[in-house]
């Protein structure tokens, strides 16, 4: 058990010290492997090989464990904007089919991440966390979330396929939604939401035997209420399992959804983005005050909750800090990316014996400039 635990007695199964130590060893070994790949002249990406020339240390020699990553200067998210995106593809993967996924981009050049197979791997690993009872293998899925140049659309489809099902999708452009909010065109916003929900209900009513769904909290609310107006429910429409994500996933919202929207369908919150992949949550239960705690897919990605001013120091358990993300896959290396979110550091969970984060919300110092909860 780590020394600086929270005062409140945890109601979940806290990881034991051996498991925590093992996961740490695994992370260190994985970090060294990823560094060796990204900074070796024969396999590394043009970006990192060029960047290494500007460093005062040799990553191949001096980065041997996760903590050694602190030697890197802060990662600047501006580097992710613009082209050529091929600068991010490791030479070891040259010639392989590549995808580019974008994030943000309401105005100006969006940030992007090149993917070869990472999104498939992330969602295959996440698939293992889904309970069969609610997400049965072979079931068909509905993807009611952002489409277009986003990783999510293909990822959910791959998840459905990986589990033996087919994914039905609707179109949703979150950049247009953000513009509608910024312009104050609330009637158009409602109309666009209704347009998406109408399509979803049509798919659900068309005999496709859809039992699983990805959606966002806002769209889940709208879908549930639209179905109620038709005299039915999400559960009666055939849905048994929902996975959902977004920073508006608060304990109160989850409680409301469980008590009043889902009609017994199972919902698992997730926290994810184009850089990280997908962080699963530990079970969200009333006894834990509907606390939503996420655990990153270590060792492929690591979330740290760091001090707002000293971003190389994690806050004590239960303390509030900014989300710092490190991506460690052979396709993508991003050390210490400071996300636009904050939250509380959570104790390692038995199933995920490393640090978690709860109460994820937009970073308070940036929140006024951020439009959230839009789709």
Partner 1 sequence: MHLTAFRFGKPYESLERNKLVHFMTGEPVAEVSQVGGAIVNRDLRKAENARKAILKISPEEIVERLQTAGNLYALGTVEVGGVKQSPDDFARQQSATTGLPENLCLANMKKNLFVLSNMDRMLDALSRGLPPEVFWRGYGTEHRDVVVSYQAQSPVLGLVLPSNSPGVHTLWLPVVALGIGLLLKPGGQEPWTPYRMAAAMIEAGIPEEAIGLYPGATDVGAAILASCGRSMIFGSAKTVEQYRGNPAVQVHGPGFSKILLGDDCVDDWADYIDIMADSIAANSGRGCINCSAIYASRHTHEIADALAEKLGVEEVRAPDDPEATLAAFTVPGAAKAIWEQIDGLLDKPGVRHATAPYGSRFVEGERCGWLRPTIVECDSPDPEIARAEYMFPFCNVVKCPQEKILDRIGPTLVATAITNDPHFQRELIDASHIDRLNIGPLPTIKLDWLQPHEGNIIDFLYRSRALQMTETSAVVSTATAVPAQSGT
Residue 231 Cβ vs partner 1, minimum distance, rounded to whole Å: 11
Nearer to partner 1, 8 or 229 (CB): 229
Residue 246 Cβ vs partner 1, minimum distance, rounded to whole Å: 13
Nearer to partner 1, 89 or 220 (CB): 220
What is the residue-wise DSSP string for 76-141?
PGGGGBSS-GGGGS-GGGTTS--EEEEE--SSSSPEEEEESSHHHHHHHHHHTTS-TTTS-TT-EE
Measured between alpha carbons, how far is 296 from 316 in angstroms, rounded to an integer? 18
Nearer to partner 1, 236 or 260 (CB): 260
Nearer to partner 1, 57 or 185 (CB): 185
Cβ count near 172 (within 10 Å): 26
Nearest partner of 259 among 229, 284, 296, judged by Cα:
284
Provide the β-strand partners of residue 333. Answer: 328
Q: Using CB under 8 A as the criterion, which residues of the chain lie in contact with partner 1 when the complex forms?
A: 184, 186-187, 190, 221, 225, 228-229, 250-253, 255-256, 260-261, 289-290, 373
Nearer to partner 1, 72 or 256 (CB): 256
Residue 291 Cβ vs partner 1, minimum distance, rounded to whole Å: 10
Residue 229 Cβ vs partner 1, minimum distance, rounded to whole Å: 7
Residue 278 Cβ vs partner 1, minimum distance, rounded to whole Å: 24
Residue 188 burial (C-beta neighbours within 10 Å; 0-12, 13-18, 19+)? middle
Q: Any idea which residue has 């358990």 for tokens?
A: 317
Residue 316 Cβ vs partner 1, minimum distance, rounded to whole Å: 23
Pairing of strands 277-281, 293-295: antiparallel
Nearer to partner 1, 21 or 191 (CB): 191
Residue 187 burial (C-beta neighbours within 10 Å; 0-12, 13-18, 19+)? exposed
């Amino acid at each position: 058990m780590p020394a600086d635990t929270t005062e409140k007695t945890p109601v979940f199964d806290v990881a034991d010290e051996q498991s925590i130590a093992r996961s740490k060893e695994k992370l260190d070994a994985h970090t060294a492997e990823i560094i060796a790949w990204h900074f070796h002249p024969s396999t590394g990406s043009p970006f990192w090989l060029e960047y290494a020339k500007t460093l005062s240390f040799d990553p191949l020699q001096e980065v041997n464990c996760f903590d050694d990553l602190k030697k890197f200067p802060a990662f600047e998210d501006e580097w992710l904007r613009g082209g050529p995106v091929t600068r991010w593809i490791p030479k070891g993967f040259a010639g392989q089919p590549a995808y580019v996924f974008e994030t943000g981009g309401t105005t100006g050049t969006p940030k992007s991440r090149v993917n070869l197979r990472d999104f498939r791997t992330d969602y295959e690993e996440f698939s293992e966390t889904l309970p069969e009872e609610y997400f049965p293998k072979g079931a068909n899925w509905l993807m009611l979330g952002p489409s277009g140049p986003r990783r999510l659309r293909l990822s959910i489809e791959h998840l459905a396929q990986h589990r033996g099902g087919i994914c039905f999708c609707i179109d949703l452009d979150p950049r247009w939604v953000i513009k509608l909010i910024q312009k104050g065109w609330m009637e158009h916003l409602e109309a666009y939401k209704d347009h998406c929900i109408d399509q979803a209900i049509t798919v659900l009513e068309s005999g496709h035997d859809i039992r699983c769904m990805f959606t966002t909290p806002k769209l889940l609310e709208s879908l549930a209420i639209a179905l109620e107006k038709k005299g039915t429910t999400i559960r009666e429409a055939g849905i048994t399992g929902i996975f959902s994500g977004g920073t508006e996933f608060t304990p109160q919202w989850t409680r409301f959804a469980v008590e009043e929207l889902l009609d017994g369908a199972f919902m698992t919150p997730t926290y994810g983005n184009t850089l990280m992949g997908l962080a699963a949550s530990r079970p969200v239960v009333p006894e834990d005050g509907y606390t939503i705690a996420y655990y990153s897919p270590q060792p492929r990605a690591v979330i740290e909750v760091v001090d707002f001013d000293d971003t190389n120091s994690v806050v004590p358990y239960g303390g509030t800090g900014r989300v710092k993300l490190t991506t460690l896959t052979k396709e993508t290396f991003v050390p210490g990316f400071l996300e636009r979110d904050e939250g509380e550091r959570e104790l390692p969970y038995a199933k995920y014996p490393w640090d978690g984060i709860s109460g994820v919300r937009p970073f308070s110092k940036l929140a006024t400039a951020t439009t959230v909860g839009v789709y």
